[in-house]
Structures are given as C-alpha cells and as structure tokens.
C-alpha cells in the first residue's frame, strides 16, 4: 500500500515512512550457447535429501505452484511466466531485515514451518543455491544475483548488510533518490545489463519516498541436448487458443528418444527435454478441458513423481517456437498469500534500519522467455545430430503441443523450479 506524503507526515512525526521496492528481473532465452571461453567445469554443492536445507527446496517448489495458481486467477486466459526461485530469493533476503509478524508472514508465505525448519537452515539453503548458480558452465549459463539500491541518507544495520552480502552475495549501491528519474535509470540499466538486454524498464514511477530498491535477477541461456533442426520447423501450424480460436505459429519438429509418460491420474502427457548441463525442461499437455484440474493438483510430490516415472521412448514431438513475457505487481498478489504486513503500516523492517520506518511500496516481477531450435552459433555443428527416420524405423508416439500447455525449467542438482509458465497463446509476446 503506498500512502500520500501528507498521510506519512501526519502519522509518523518522529520518523519518516519510506517505501522499499523490490523488483525481480529475469530472462530465460532457451536457445543460446555459452561463450567459447567459459570454464569447462560446472560443479554443484552436494545436497543431502534429509537435511533441513534440502527440505527447503521441496517447500520452495510448493510455493512455486501456490504462486502460479494465484497468478492464473489474477490473469485469466493469459500467458503466465515467472521465476519462483527469483521471487522466493527476494522475499527470503527481505526477511533478513524483518522482525515479528512481518518476518513470520514472509517465511510462512514461502511455505516454511518455523518449528520444523529453523530460519538459519532456510538462509543456508538459499546461500548454497545462490552460490551454485555463480559457478560457470561450458554448457549453459544460469546466473542469479541480487542488488540493493539504498538511499544515501539511509543507515543500514551492520548485521543486515553483512548477511545480504554473505548469504545472498548481494551488491549494494548508494543511490540518490532525490532525483527519481536518474535513480530509476540507474536501476533499470543495471538489470538490463545483468539480463543481457532482455529485461528492460523493470522499474517505473519511483517517487521521493523511495528509500531502497531490492532487485533480484536471474538469467538462463542453454542449448538442447537434442536440438531441433531449423529446416524441419513448420512455418505456420495451427495452435488452439481457448476453446475455439486458432492462431498460427512456427512449430518445431523432431523424432527422437525422450523421457515421456502419460499421467493417467492427472490426464496429461509429460515430456522431459534435457539441456546440456544440469537443466531440464518439462512440457506438460493436459487433456482437452483438463487444465484447471491439473493446475489445482500441482505440487512438489507431482514433480517428483514425474521425474522418477518417465521412461525414454521414441517420440515424434511438435513444440511451438515462441517468445513470451509477463509482468506482475506482486504487492497486490502476495498479501493474498498471507504476506500482508510487509506492504502496510504494520511493517517491521527494523532489522534493516532503526532510524526510519520502512514498508514495501511496490514489488515488481518481469519475466521473458524465448524457446527456439538452438543457438545460431551451434546450428551448423549440431544439425547432423538430427536424423529423419524412415517408416521402417522404430515405432514412436506422437505428441503435439498445439494447445495450452505448461512449461517448467528445473535443475537436477538442486531439485527446484527456476522458471514456470503456461503458454496460452504463443503469438502474444
């Protein structure tokens, strides 16, 4: 909730009430290759399934589906795309400076039961995740980072500043918010650079009450382990939008062995396509009229079931070539998920600064996704891996993603969802 200047001056005579804005900028262009000079090793810290830290990842997956269902309600019949990992990391980092009910609501809103999972374990889990994403790979780029843009006059608590830098590897920038347009340009330029130009103008309408902007960005570039051959992409293929409308999209096509399964309980097809490296994409196609049933039952257990039950078989697959983006004002959505105090006059962020009263005035999330055959740099080198099999070849199952489907990008090593979305209309950017 954002209040007027007069309201602030009347209700807070001894201290000022400033807005804390956190923004999430991310990009997942699923088609490019890593630079040729990237280091050859990509290692993850080991994750033991029984530790509180690893349990945090399962809860984070449930948060992903909880937020997804809320976004579907807020934007019916539209594409949905976001990074649950980026949102949850921003909230967890914000909780470092929260006290009392503000802290409890944030962590419980993320799905954590503080009697079973100590707060220290939650932050250790995010610390290990953030660290794992800073290790380069020759096969993919998956980078997540955070930045705090702090009003010059705002004196941060030493403990908060130390923890956001130590646990979340956040960058901290002193910022002059007395000129909102210049501050806005500085923040937007930082996010645009970190997402290689994909996420632009994430911050809009800064005002004089802004005291701090927290930004989390995640950038993903990868190439398919079994890429599509561009010459086999059909330039115009019908895609059903809703119950009757049809649009035409470029449709990628290949016959190959993929992990695939039919979930009879949820009435859907599940296709797993691996990227080079540890990243995995799940494409989920529900039966006609069954999307809502599928959405209501998605959980960490569902994803684990798919991961363990899919079997490799010959598949003829049709997947649209598309680019979509989405923006969300989370300050109107998160309170409906139990995270309320952070956005109103009851906010307690005294762990950030004691001199001034802070509340979150705006929480912006913007996501961009590109799905294509592969990076142009690799097209010639990998085209020979595509083989068109004759009618006498092995039998195969045909699955065509020619109507609304779900897409998830996960990581084998940390068992968490980086990106989650629903493609309702692939022609809408």
- The CATH number of the domain holding residue 129 is 3.30.497.10
Give the pairing type, strands 416-423 and 311-320: unpaired
Per-residue pLDDT, 327: 86
pLDDT digits (tens, 9 = 90+) for 77-92: 999 998 888 889 889 9
Instruction: Give the count of alpha carbons within 13 A of 39, CB side only.
Output: 7
Q: Are residues 79 and 95 in the same domain?
A: yes
Q: Can you tell me the mean pLDDT for 163-180?
A: 89
Nearest to 219 by CA among 149, 127, 134: 134
Q: Are residues 105 and 162 in the same domain?
A: yes
Q: Give domain status of residue 203, yes or no.
A: yes
pLDDT digits (tens, 9 = 90+) for 298-315: 998 999 899 889 999 999
Q: Can you tell me the mean pLDDT for 222-248?
A: 90
Nearest to 426 by CA among 322, 325, 343, 345: 322
Per-residue pLDDT, 125: 86
Answer for the pair 330, 87: CB distance below 8 angstroms, yes or no.
yes
Q: Are residues 66 and 139 in the same domain?
A: yes
Averaged confidence pLDDT in the chain = 79
Q: Give domain status of residue 6, yes or no.
A: no
Q: Are residues 199 and 341 in the same domain?
A: yes
Q: Give domain status of residue 27, yes or no.
A: yes
Q: Are residues 185 and 215 in the same domain?
A: yes
- Look at residue 402 and tell me whether its pLDDT is greater than 60: yes
Confidence of residue 411 (pLDDT cuts 50, 70, 90): confident
Q: Can you tell me the mean pLDDT for 2-17?
A: 34
Report the first-to-last Cα separation within the chain, whole angstroms: 30
Q: Are residues 414 and 384 in the same domain?
A: yes
Per-residue pLDDT, 23: 61
pLDDT digits (tens, 9 = 90+) for 237-264: 999 998 879 999 999 999 999 999 999 9
Confidence of residue 218 (pLDDT cuts 50, 70, 90): confident
Higher pLDDT, residue 20 or 422 = 422
Per-residue pLDDT, 53: 56
Give the chain's radius of gyration (CA, Å). 22
Per-residue pLDDT, 387: 29
Q: Are residues 152 and 201 in the same domain?
A: yes
Q: Give domain status of residue 146, yes or no.
A: yes
Q: Are residues 311 and 332 in the same domain?
A: no
- Look at residue 270 and tell me whether its pLDDT is greater than 50: yes
Confidence of residue 328 (pLDDT cuts 50, 70, 90): confident
Whether the CA torsion 421, 423, 428, 429 is positive or negative: it is positive
Of 37-41, 164-168, 191-195, 391-395, the range with the lowest mean pLDDT is: 37-41
Per-residue pLDDT, 3: 41
- Look at residue 201 and tell me whether its pLDDT is greater than 60: yes
Q: Give domain status of residue 350, yes or no.
A: yes
Q: Give domain status of residue 356, yes or no.
A: yes
Q: How many domains does the chain contain in total?
A: 2
Kindly tell me the burial class for residue 131, based on how many C-beta atoms sit within 10 Å of its own C-beta (0-12, 13-18, 19 or more): middle
Strand order from edge to edge, sheet including 322-329: 171-175, 140-151, 210-222, 17-30, 357-371, 322-329
pLDDT digits (tens, 9 = 90+) for 16-72: 344 445 565 544 444 333 233 333 322 333 334 456 556 666 778 899 999 999 999
Share of the chain above pLDDT 70, in %: 80
Per-residue pLDDT, 214: 83
Domain with 310 in it: what CATH number? 2.30.39.10
pLDDT digits (tens, 9 = 90+) for 119-163: 998 998 888 888 877 666 777 777 778 888 888 888 889 999 999
Q: Are residues 312 and 342 in the same domain?
A: no
Q: Give domain status of residue 10, yes or no.
A: no
Q: Identify the residue whose tokens are 């940390």.
A: 414
Q: Give domain status of residue 65, yes or no.
A: yes
Per-residue pLDDT, 114: 86
Per-residue pLDDT, 63: 92
Q: Which of the listed ranges 32-36, 187-191, 362-366 does the model predict with the highest average pLDDT?
A: 187-191
Cα distance between residue 29 and residue 212, in whole Å: 29
Q: Are residues 290 and 342 in the same domain?
A: no
Which residues on adjacent β-strands are paired with residue 429? none
Q: Which domain holds residue 130?
A: 18-222+324-369
Q: Are residues 295 and 184 in the same domain?
A: no
Per-residue pLDDT, 38: 31
Q: Are residues 365 and 260 in the same domain?
A: no
């Amino acid at each position: 909730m954002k209040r007027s200047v007069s309201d602030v001056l009347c209700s807070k005579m001894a201290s000022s009430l400033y807005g804390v804005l956190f923004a999430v900028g991310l990009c997942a262009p699923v088609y490019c290759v890593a630079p040729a000079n990237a280091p050859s090793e990509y290692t993850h810290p080991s994750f033991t399934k029984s530790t509180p830290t690893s349990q945090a990842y399962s809860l984070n997956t449930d948060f992903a589906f909880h937020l997804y269902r809320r976004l579907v309600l807020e934007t019916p019949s539209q594409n949905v795309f976001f990074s649950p990992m980026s949102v949850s990391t921003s909230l967890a980092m914000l909780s470092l400076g929260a006290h009392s009910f503000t802290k409890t609501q944030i962590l419980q809103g993320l799905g954590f039961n503080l009697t079973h999972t100590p707060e220290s374990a939650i932050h250790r889990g995010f610390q290990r995740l953030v660290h794992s994403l800073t290790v380069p790979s020759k096969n993919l780029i998956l980078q997540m980072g955070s930045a705090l843009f702090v009003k010059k006059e705002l004196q941060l608590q030493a403990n908060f500043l130390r923890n956001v830098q130590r646990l979340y590897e956040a960058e901290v920038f002193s910022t002059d918010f007395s000129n909102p347009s210049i501050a806005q340009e500085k923040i937007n330029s930082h996010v645009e650079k970190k997402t290689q130009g994909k996420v632009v103008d994430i911050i809009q309408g800064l005002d004089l009450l802004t005291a701090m902007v927290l930004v989390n960005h995640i950038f993903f570039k990868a190439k398919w382990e079994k890429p599509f051959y561009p010459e086999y992409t059909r330039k115009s293929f019908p895609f059903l939008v809703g119950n009757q409308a049809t649009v035409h999209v470029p449709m990628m096509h290949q016959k190959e062995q993929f992990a695939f399964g039919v979930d009879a309980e949820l009435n859907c097809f599940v296709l797993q396509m691996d990227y080079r490296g540890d990243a995995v994409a799940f494409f989920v196609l529900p039966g006609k009229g069954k999307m809502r049933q599928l959405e209501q039952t998605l959980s960490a257990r569902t994803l684990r079931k798919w991961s363990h039950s899919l079997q490799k078989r010959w598949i003829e697959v049709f997947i649209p070539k598309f680019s979509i983006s989405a923006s969300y004002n989370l300050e109107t959505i998160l309170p409906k998920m139990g995270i309320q105090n952070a956005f109103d006059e009851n906010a307690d962020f005294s762990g950030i600064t004691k001199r001034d009263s802070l509340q979150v005035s705006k929480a912006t999330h913007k996501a961009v996704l590109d799905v294509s055959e592969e990076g142009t740099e690799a097209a010639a080198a990998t085209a020979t891996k595509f083989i068109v099999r004759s009618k006498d070849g092995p039998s195969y199952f045909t699955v065509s993603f020619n109507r609304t489907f779900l897409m998830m990008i996960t990581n084998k090593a940390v068992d968490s969802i980086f990106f989650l979305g629903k493609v309702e209309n692939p022609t809408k950017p």
